[in-house]
Structures are given as structure tokens and as C-alpha cells.
Amino acid sequence: MTAEVTWHETKVTKAARQALKGHAGLCIWFTGLSGAGKSTLANKVEEELYQRGIHTYLLDGDNVRHGLSADLGFSERDRKEHIRRVAHVASLFVDAGTVVLTALISPFESDREQARSQFAEGEFLEVFVDCPVEVCASRDPKGLYDKAQRGLIQNFTGISAPYEAPRQADVTVNTAQNSIDECVGTVLSAVLDTLQLNVIGGKIQA
């Protein structure tokens, strides 16, 4: 960034946007191996929040690669840039008073911490979707593990590239040991506790 690029303050503040929506903004960051259930969980949690009158948006890592990150591959450098972009967009949603859910493998602890740093205290909830790689590979909904094991996909997390599990995730769910509905309940409870604000017309429904 050059010195000629300046920050322009807006008349409408974050607090005003949140007041209009009736709740605070929040980023729910789902991380885990491919096939662990991140997208499934994020979709179901978003649906539950939507039904409670909470303004939401879901940024799925694969979907973002169709547009904003269409120029990126899966090298460590490109993965870092992909996460940086998603985190920045997510921070804009939070600034607008929206609860944004992100579903990305985001394999490196440093990248997830960098993402967290884009948000104020209480605006970022890291959800570790824990599942053994053997179980993820047995699910293999996209056939990616099979291709990676045959050497057809390089830098595949869990096979030919590492995944650094969160050391202190805000929420941890295990989709190999618990049902999706149980995992959704765990995440939803943490989200509602974090929001701690009323919606227009009454309390956020538990």
C-alpha cells in the first residue's frame, strides 16, 4: 500500500448498522479437513440463525474460488492469499452488522490467526470441525482423496500437505463421533452466547 492511499471514514458507523439489524456482526470461521463436514455444518447453522431473524451470509471456500479467488491455486502461497481475501471480505460483512460464516480448510495456524486479527474482540468464533483423515477419506464426497492418493492432485491437505489443528479453537465438534444435528447444536449455542444482543421485537431465540 502506498502513502497516496488514504482511509475514508463513513458517516454511517458499525454501531448504527448493527442497531438497524438488531444484532452484532460476527464471523464464524469453520476449519477442518476436506470431507470433515465444514460446508454441511455451516449451511445448517446459517439456516438456524436465519430462522431466528439473524442476518447471515455464507462464504464457502470453493464458491469463493469461482470468483474472488479464481486466479489462485493450491500452493501454500495461494492458500494464504485465499484466506486473506476471505477474511477481509468477512470483516466487511461484520462491519455491516451481518453474521458471516466461512467454510475453508485453512490448514495453517498462522493464517487463521491472521484472519482473527482482522476482527475486534468477540467478533471471531473459530470452529474446528474435527474428523480423522481416514474417516474423511472414506466419505470422499468429491473423489478428491482418491485422486490425491493416486498422485493426481498435488498439495492436498491431509495427504501431501499438512493440516495444523487449532490449539485453542473457540468451539470444537467431532463429526466422526457426533451426529450433524448434535454438532449444529453445539455451534449454535456458542454463536447465540457470543452475540448476546437483542433482535428487534425481543430476545434472540435459543
Q: Cα(70)–Cα(82) distance, rounded to whole angstroms?
A: 9
Architecture in CATH of 15-130+165-195 = 3-Layer(aba) Sandwich (3.40)
User: Can you give the pTM of this predicted structure?
Assistant: 0.90
Beta bridge partners of 157: 161
pLDDT at 201: 42
Listed by start position, the domains of the chain span 15-130+165-195
Type of residue numbered 162: P
Are 1 and 104 spatial neighbours (Cβ–Cβ below 8 Å)?
A: no
Instruction: Return binding residues for ATP.
Output: 32-39
pLDDT at 18: 87
pLDDT at 198: 43
Instruction: Return binding residues.
Output: 32-39
Encode 114-179 in three state secondary structure.
HHHCCCCCCCEEEEEEECCHHHHHHHCCCCHHHHHHCCCCCCCECCCECCCCCCCCCEEEECCCCC
Q: Which residues are catalytic?
A: 106
Grouped pLDDT means (10 residues each) for the chain, 206 residues: 76 88 94 96 97 95 89 89 96 96 96 96 96 93 87 88 94 97 97 71 50
Q: Enter the C-alpha cell of residue 37.
A: 463436514
